[in-house]
Structure 1
Amino acid sequence: MTLIPHAIPLINDPQVVHALAARWRRTRTLLLLAAGVLPVAIGLVCVVLAGMTSAGQRIMPWWSAIPAVAAAACAWALLTWLRRNGLSDPHSWLPATTLMTGAQLVLGVLPGSGIALRLSPGAALAVKALCAAGVLGAGSACSLARLARRSLLAAPVIELGSTAFTLVLTDGDTRVVIGTERLDWTTNRVGAGVSFARIIRVTTEANAIVLHTASGSWQVPVPDPATAQALLRRRITWWEERRLAAAERERRRYLDLVRLLAAVSGEATRGGVTVTVDSNGVTTGIALSPDVRELDPDLLAARLMACIERARSDARRQVQDLVLDHAAKASH
């Protein structure tokens, strides 16, 4: 499984993919180094330090491996976050990388170096070199994460509006965040926001964009109103396309469920009596074998009712399985 896809995620427009291909290649390389290669390398440094600790010992103290485990856990947490949630928010790459590599230093490299110096004083030079490599790796990871974000977003282009990346525009005390479902802004420490569903149209004024909604208009200061307007319109169009596609997928799943439910048939057999029912429990067929001709009518009626109940129970179980399976697929 590829940690970071070669193509920009959540994009189906070939023109957008082509326009951002070169930018994404640079960003992907920098992000792989910042959030993948260097954190793993720091974890390996801690593993080597733990190995040096046991070099002069008959039995390796169990607690000497704690820094290596902590550093490896931090690297794994960063990679997992990046794969699941982090790719769509470039502005979180630097804080997340700084947090995790800093934790690797505090929990792994520094304690591991201290333990190695204490238990293996003869390897002091190598331990110091590894410690310096760990610190350098953490600093380099943070710098590369910052460069990755700048490489992708430093010069906004209109095609970024058709991606899932969170876009941030700043102008003095104003910070505008174009998300995947809404626009939020902060001016003089006062925040506000509006969902895309409420925006009727977007216009520009001097040094600002104007959001027209059914309940009024909002004026948002931005450094480049024309670019901000184009980005926002592109993002709203992208959001509408995804919303319509999601609604179409849900409609198809519903129709598939209705079709499958219509095909449900519960069946039960007992003592020569066979009963079938549909998904609503309505009897659709009764079959009697020749053996039941001599049965007492009351006994035959009892068998018939028992078969109907068992067939309805079978149909309910099938309906329940179909509905639960549909709900599980919809949640994914």
Structure 2
Amino acid sequence: MTLIPHAIPLINDPEVVRALANRWRRTRTLLLLSTGVLPVAIGLVCVALAGMTSAGQRIMPWWSAIPAVAAAACAWALLSWLRRNGLSDPHSWLPATTLMTGTQLVLGVLPGAGIALRLSPGAAIAVKALCAAGVLGAGSACSLARLAHRSLLSAPVLELGSTAFPLVLDGHGSRLVIGSDRVDWTTRQGGRVDAGVTFARIQHVTAQANAIVLHTASGAWTVPVSDPATAQALLRRRLAWWEEGRDATEERYHELVRLLAAVNGEASRGGVTVTVDSNGVTTGVSFSPAVRDLEPDVLSTHLMACVEKARSDARRQVEDLVLEHAAVKAGH
């Protein structure tokens, strides 16, 4: 399984994918190095330091392996986080990489080097070299994570408005953050003011000199920005992307409701056939001529068994539909 997809994630528009392909290719390379290759290399440095503690020792102390285990766990945690939900928030790449590689240094490289120097003083030069390599790797990982973020978002292009990436625009004492379903801003003119509005409340967006205006049903918000035309275009593109996603979600919901309403569980036993709807309510009972020879208590038993089996069949169909709907939603 590919750690980082070759195509930019969370995008279904082929034109947007093509427009951002080169930018994502550079970002992907930098991100692989900063969150994959270098943290794993730091873990290998700790393993090497743990191996050096056995020089001249018949049995390597078990506790000398703790720094290597800690460093490996940090590398695995960073990779798991990136694969699970880190790709959707480029602004977290640098903090996450700094946290994990810093933890590798504090819990892995430095303690491992200290243990190796104490147990194997004859290998002091090699230990110091490995320690320097670990520190250099951590610093390089942080720098590359910063470059990955800048490569993707530092120069906003219109196509980024059709992605789920948070877009941050700074200027004129303000900071504008365009999210996936809302826009937030901070201004420091005459005191700090933090405000925000959801996309559902925005009616339209206009540009003024050094500012954009967000028009809502309850009033207008003026947000200072350094490039009003770019901010307006990006926000309008993001609003259109959000509306398309909302419409698609509503369509999928109505389709799910329609399919659930059409669910019918059915079961037959001993000439008895029972059907139920998606709520388990019996909608039909039929008997074949074979039931004429059945005792009343046996017929009753068959009837109850059919009801339970039909309800179980309906529940299974409902679960399958809901899971399929959830999978489609996650894919979008």
Mark yes or no: TM-score above 0.5.
yes
| 2:226 aligned to which of 223, 235, 241 | 223
Q: Structure 1 residue 290: deviation in Å?
A: 8.2
Q: Hey, what does 1:40 align to over in structure 2?
A: 40
Q: Does 1:145 align with 2:145?
A: yes
* CA RMSD after TM alignment: 1.7
**CA offsets, 1:35-72, max 9 Å, x none?**
11101100110011111112322222111111111111
Secondary structure at the counterpart of residue 186 of structure 1: strand
- Give the aligned partner of residue 120 of structure 2: 120
Gaps of 5+ in 2: 328-332
Q: Deviations over 1:146-192 (max 9, x none)?
A: 11111111211111111111111112431111111110111223211
> Alpha-carbon deviation of 1:116?
0.7
Larger radius of gyration: 1
Choose 52-61 or 24-33, whichever is displaced more. 52-61
Matches within 5 A, 1:15-94: 15-94=15-94
Q: Note if contact 2:172-2:224 (Cα within 8 Å) is conserved in structure 1.
A: no
Q: Does 1:232 align with 2:227?
A: no
Query: 1:116–1:127: 8 Å Cα contact kept in structure 2?
Result: yes
Aligned length: 320
SS of 2:93's equivalent in the other structure is helix
Following superposition, the deviation at residue 284 of structure 1 comes to 3.0
Alpha-carbon deviations, 1:180-227, whole Å to 9, x = none? 111011122321111111111001112111111111111111111110
- Pairing 1:167–2:167 present: yes
Q: Does 1:285 align with 2:286?
A: yes
Q: Distance in 1 between matches of 2:242 and 2:8?
A: 16
Aligned to 1:265: 266
> What is the rounded CA distance, in whole Å, between the counterparts of 1:144 and 1:75 in structure 2?
16
AA at the equivalent of 1:286: F
In structure 2, what is the Cα distance between the partners aligned to 1:85 and 1:237? 24
Contact 2:266 2:275 in 1 (8 A): yes
Residue 232 of structure 1 deviates from its aligned partner by 0.4
Asked whether 1:105 is paired with 2:95, we answer: no
Cα contact 1:34–1:144 (8 A) shared by 2: yes
Q: Which residue of 2 aligns with 1:275?
A: 272
Measure the CA separation in 2 of the matches of 1:57 and 1:172: 64
Cα shift at 1:288: 3.8
Closer, same or farther: CA 226–291 of 1 in aligned 2, 3 Å: closer
* 3-state secondary structure, aligned to 1:212: strand
- Normalised by the length of structure 2, the TM-score is 0.91
State the match for 1:321 in structure 2. Answer: 316
Mark the CA change 1:243 to 1:6 in structure 2 (over 3 Å): closer, same or farther: same
Asked if 1 retains the 8 angstrom alpha-carbon contact of 2:34 and 2:140, the reply is yes
Q: Which letter maps to 1:76?
A: W
Q: Distance in 1 between matches of 2:106 and 2:269?
A: 67
Residues 251 and 283 (structure 1 numbering): CA distance in 2 closer, same or farther, change over 3 Å? closer
Q: Which of 244, 249, 253 matches 1:250?
A: 253
Q: CA deviation at 1:325?
A: 3.5
CA distance in structure 1 between the partners assigned to 2:65 and 2:218 by the alignment: 61
Kindly indicate whether the alpha-carbon contact (under 8 Å) linking 2:274 and 2:282 is maintained by their aligned counterparts in 1.
yes
Is the CA contact (8 Å cut-off) linking 1:202 and 1:211 kept in structure 2? yes
The verdict on how the C-alpha distance between 1:257 and 1:54 changes in structure 2, with shifts beyond 3 A counting, is farther
- 3-state DSSP class of the match of 1:140? helix
Q: Cα 1:255–1:282, aligned 2, differ >3 Å: closer, same or farther?
A: closer
Q: By how many angstroms is 1:14 displaced?
A: 2.0
1:330 is displaced (CA, Å) by: 4.1
SS of 2:9's equivalent in the other structure is: coil
CA contact (8 A) 1:276 1:284 kept: yes
Give me the whole-angstrom Cα distance separating, in 1, the residues matched to 2:283 and 2:155.
65
The 8 Å contact of residues 283 and 308 in structure 1, kept in 2 or not, is answered as no
Once the two structures are superposed, residues 269-307 of structure 1 have per-residue CA deviations (whole angstroms, 9 ceiling, x without a partner) of 3xxxx2111113244321243881xx7xxxx33332222
Unaligned runs of 5+ in 1: none
